[in-house]
Amino acid sequence: MKIRKLGKLGPNVSAIGFGAMSITGFFGPTNDTTSQECLKAAYDYGINFFDTADVYGSGSSEILIGKFLKDTRAEIKIATKAGIQTKPLRQFNNSKDYLTQSLDMSLKRLGIDYVDLFYIHRREADRPIEEVVETLKEFIDAGKIGGYGLSEISPTTLRRAHSVHPCMAVQNEYSLWSRMPDMGLIRTCDELGVAFVPFSPLGRGMLTDRPAKRENMVSPDLRINNPRFIEPNLSDNLSMLKPFQGWAADNEMTTATAALAWVLSRGENLIPIPATRTAKHLIEWVGASEITLSPKQLKEIDDILPVGWAYGDRYSVSQYVGPETYC
């Protein structure tokens, strides 16, 4: 596994991280044994950067990772997130009191006293980002976090935050079928020395040899109401993907490996965090960090899946509450 730096001032981590949302059963049923096997496989293949959040399985993702850390004594760089308050009603809360409470609870579930990276999961629109960063800086000064990150934000928000205290990482959806960060966010991260961490780099299970099937999606899977997974968009997207699947096979790669290698090719500051429930699926893409796509291959991929090829928006209207738009 190749290594990349988590921002200008951050630690060295595996070029591919592990997104720990799926191990809670969010995208299909699983169990603790299978989840622990998946975490072990990730670590055995050289992944030393795990990404979780307090809302993943209502804290169960952090608990599973905490157990893995305790049982294996593995040296893992941990990122977690807070800022989405689920009770009594779902809302975004970036207040100092709420973030302090959330961080302390996350550390307790993880069984550690420090995380390398602490994200604001969603920005509270009415609270100045400068105020939020001052809170995060206090966490850094207290030795609770190594650095802070922001999720689903615009380039202007990043610049404002970074002017108060350097940001370590920004996390947004990015893949061959979700390209909005190309419209300024990735460039801004590169300019400021901030790591860009793409989540869902495999298109929520679509950029694989066996794309996600609608009949296998059950609540709370957000794909059920996602425009790209609703007909006729779903069938159109599957049709568009077939030539890319063939191209990957012709180049002796799985579709997932090819898609992830493409993400890695977009810049040395990109550290994608694909998610999976099983070690079996992890093996399909974990070797992507060892692949360097040639200019010819990149041109061929662009010809097959040009910018904007996907049918349907990446979120429905109701799901688009929180992510900042800027294009």
Helix 96-110 × helix 129-141 angle, to 10°? 40
Distances (CA, A) of 251 to 248, 257, 294, 301: 5, 11, 11, 11
CB 32 within 8 A of CB 60: no
How many degrees, rounded to 5, is the angle at CA 300 between CA 183 and CA 13? 60
Set 56, 148, 174, 315: catalytic member? 56
CA–CA separation, 35 and 220 (whole Å): 18
Structure-block tokens of residue 294: 């040639």
CB 227 within 8 A of CB 233: yes
Secondary structure (3-state) at 283: coil
CA–CA separation, 110 and 14 (whole Å): 20
Please, which residues have CB within 8 angstroms of residue 274's CB and are 6 or more apart in sequence? 16, 18, 19, 200, 201, 202, 256, 260, 285
Structure-block tokens of residue 250: 């012709």
* DSSP string over 125-183: TTS-HHHHHHHHHHHHHTTSBS-EEEES--HHHHHHHHHHS---EEEEE-BTTB-GGGG
CB 76 within 8 A of CB 49: yes
Tell me whether residue 56 is one of the annotated catalytic residues: yes
CA–CA separation, 294 and 265 (whole Å): 10
Q: Which residues carry out catalysis?
A: 56
